[in-house]
Structure 1
Amino acid sequence: MSDFFKKIDDADEIRQGDVIRKTDARTGSVIALGVVITADCDIAQEKAGGRYNWVEILPMRTYIEGPWATEQLRRLAKKRSKQVLDHLAGHIRRNLPGISPITHESLIEWLRTKSPEEVIESVSGAIPGPGDKQLRDLKIFNLATATNGAQGAFERLRSAWDLAGTSQEDQRNQIGNALKDGGGFQDYFVLPELPNMDGVGFVAVLRSMGTIMSHELFLTERDARIAGQSSEFHRLGRLSDGVRFSITQKLAFLFSRIGMPTTYESACEAACELVIDECFNNKVAV
C-alpha cells in the first residue's frame, strides 16, 4: 500500500480523507470523484446533520487541459489586452476620428465575426504582413478569448504559446512548475495516485466543493450494488493523515484570505516602482 493511503477495514465508518467515487451503472465510467473534508469530530458527534462535505478530484490531465489551461488563457488575454488595444486605438485616432474607443469586451465581440487580419485592416487601411508583431499579438489575444471554436482550452493555449515563440521545453516547464510542490498556489492539491483507481496523477480542486447525504454514500462498491444503488457514491479508500491534513490546511488558507481593494494594490505597486527608481537613479559615489 502507498504511503499516501491509510489501511482501513470495509466496515470502518466514513471519515475525513475518505476518497469517494460515483460511477455510471451501465458503463462503469466515473461520473464524480472526490475526498471527504468534513471534520472527524463533526462526523463522530453527528454535528454534520447527516451530510458530508467533499472536494472534487480530477485526473491531472483533465485538470491541465480544462480548468488550468482556461485560467492561463484568461491571464494571457489580460496581459495582451492593453498593448493590442493601444495599437488599435492609435490607428482609430488617426484614421477613424469620432469612432468610440475599443474596449477589451468589444474587441472580443469583434473577433467573433472578423479575423485578426480583417480587424487590423479595418482600422489601419492596410493588410498586415504575416510577420507583423501587432498581428501576432492580436492572434494570441484571439486565441486566449475565443470560445466558439472547435479547439479546446489546452489546444488554444499551446497555439498561443507557439505564436509567442515559447519553446516546447518552456511549455512543459510552465506546466511542471505550476503543479510541483504538492499544488503550488492554494487552490488545488496534487495527488500522485488514489486508492483503487487506475492511472497516476490527480488534482483535488479546492474551489469545487459539494455536499452528499450520508444515505447516498456507501462504505464499498459492493454495498452499493447489494442495496441496488450502483450509481451512488461509494468509498475507495482513505488518504493518510499527512495528506488529508494538508488538503484541509490549504482549504482553510484559501477561504480565510482577506482580499485587499484594487486601490490598495495599485498604491503598493506605485510605491514599489518609485522606490526601485530611486534605487537605480541614486548615483553611487566612487
Structure 2
Amino acid sequence: MAEPFTEYRELGPADPLRQGDVLEAVDPAASMWRRNLLIITADCDFAHDKHHGRVTCVPVLTADEFLSETQIPRIRERLVKKPMAVMRPILAQSAAPNISDHRLREWAGEETPAVIAERLGLKDATAREAKAALESLRMLDAPAPDLTEAITTLVEAQLVGPSPPKRENALKSVMDPLQSAYTRPPGDAFFLTAIAPGCDAGYFAYLRHLEQVWEPDISTVPTRRTIKYRRISRLRDRFAHAVVQRFAMVFMSIGLPPEYEDLRDLYAQLLGDRLK
C-alpha cells in the first residue's frame, strides 16, 4: 500500500538544520506570526556559516488565520462599496456636513441606523434605504472572532443591505475568493496541506513577513538547555524549492512609475497605428 502523500518528511537527530525545516515555538502563547516558522536560509549559508547564526524564516499560518488576515479584509472592502454608494447621494441631499467614507463607517458602528437616519432628517423611503445601508456597513465592519463568524457576518451584511442579493449569491461572493486562495494562491503565499505529524489542517506560508531566529535557540534533538524553537519536520525538496522560488519572486518584483507605463502603452498604440 502506498504511503499517504505529505509535503514534509520526518528527520532524525543527526540531520543538520537546513532550508525547508519547519520549526515550532516552545512558547504555547507565541503569536501566529512566530508559532510555526519555515526556514528559507540557504543550505550553503549553513554549511559555510554565511548567515552568522541568524536563521531567516517565514511564518506558517493556519489556513483560517491566513484567510482571516489577508483575504477577509479584501472581500470586506469590496462589499462595502455597495452600501457606501447608496449613502453618498443620501448624504449629499441631507443637511449633514461633508463626511468622509472612513468617518461614515465609524459612525455606522457607533450609533444605530435609526438614530443616524433621524439625525440626518431622513424620512420614509429614503430613511428605510439609509437604515439598510447603515446596518450593512455596521455588520461589514464588525469584528469576528474566527473565520466562520467572519464569513457568516459578511453574508448577512449583504442580505440586510439595500437591494439584497439571493442568499446563494451572497455566499458565493464571499466563498469564491476564499476558495480561490487555495487553488490560485496569491503570489506572496504558498499552500501546504500538512507541515508535520498531527499538523494537517491546511496551512499557508506567508512570504512577505520575515522572522529571524538565532540558531542556538533552535533544537533539532531533545535537550535540557533553554531553547525557543524545536524542529518538527522538513519540507520535501520539491516543495522547499518551490516556496523559496516564490519567495524570491515576491522580492524580485520591482514597481515601475505610472509615467513609464503610460509611455509604454503609447508605444504599443503607435505600433498599431502603423496599419491604419
Classify the TM-score, shorter chain.
Answer: 0.7 to 0.9
The reply to whether residue 107 of structure 1 matches residue 109 of structure 2 is: no
Partner of 2:245: 249
Give the counterpart of 1:141 among 114, 137, 140: 137
Give the counterpart of 2:91 among 74, 89, 94: 89
Q: Give the Cα separation in 1 of the matches to 2:19 and 2:115.
A: 56
Give the counterpart of 1:237 among 213, 233, 237: 233
The reply to whether residue 197 of structure 1 matches residue 198 of structure 2 is: yes
The reply to whether residue 116 of structure 1 matches residue 146 of structure 2 is: no
- CA gap of 1:142–1:203, structure 2 versus 1, over 3 A, is same
Q: Which of structure 1's runs of 4+ aligned residues deviate more than 4 A?
A: 27-31, 127-130, 260-265
- RMSD value, Cα: 3.4
Using structure 2 for the length normalisation, give the TM-score.
0.75
Equivalent residues of 1:57, 1:204 under 8 A apart: yes
Summarize deviations over 1:174-198 as a string: whole Å, max 9, x none. 42122214xx211221100112233
Partner of 2:186: 185
- Which one is further off, 170-179 or 79-88? 79-88
Give the counterpart of 1:47 among 35, 41, 50: 50
Using structure 1 for the length normalisation, give the TM-score.
0.73
Q: Which amino acid counterpart does residue 62 of structure 2 have in structure 1?
A: P
Q: Which amino acid counterpart does residue 73 of structure 1 have in structure 2?
A: R
For structure 2, which runs of at least 5 residues remain unmatched after alignment? 159-164, 267-276
SS at structure 2 position matched to 1:70: helix
Give how far 1:262 is off.
7.0
Give how far 1:156 is off.
4.2
Q: Give the Cα separation in 1 of the matches to 2:117 and 2:258.
A: 32
For structure 1, which runs of at least 5 residues remain unmatched after alignment? 272-286
- CA gap of 1:91–1:123, structure 2 versus 1, over 3 A, is farther
Equivalent residues of 2:191, 2:202 under 8 A apart: yes
Q: Give the Cα separation in 1 of the matches to 2:66 and 2:118.
A: 38
Q: Give the Cα separation in 1 of the matches to 2:35 and 2:76.
A: 26
Give the counterpart of 1:158 among 152, 165, 172: 152
Q: Which amino acid counterpart does residue 212 of structure 2 have in structure 1?
A: T
Identity value in percent: 22
SS at structure 2 position matched to 1:112: helix
SS at structure 2 position matched to 1:208: coil
Give how far 1:118 is off.
2.6
Summarize deviations over 1:38-58 as a string: whole Å, max 9, x none. 112222221111010111111
Give how far 1:250 is off.
1.7
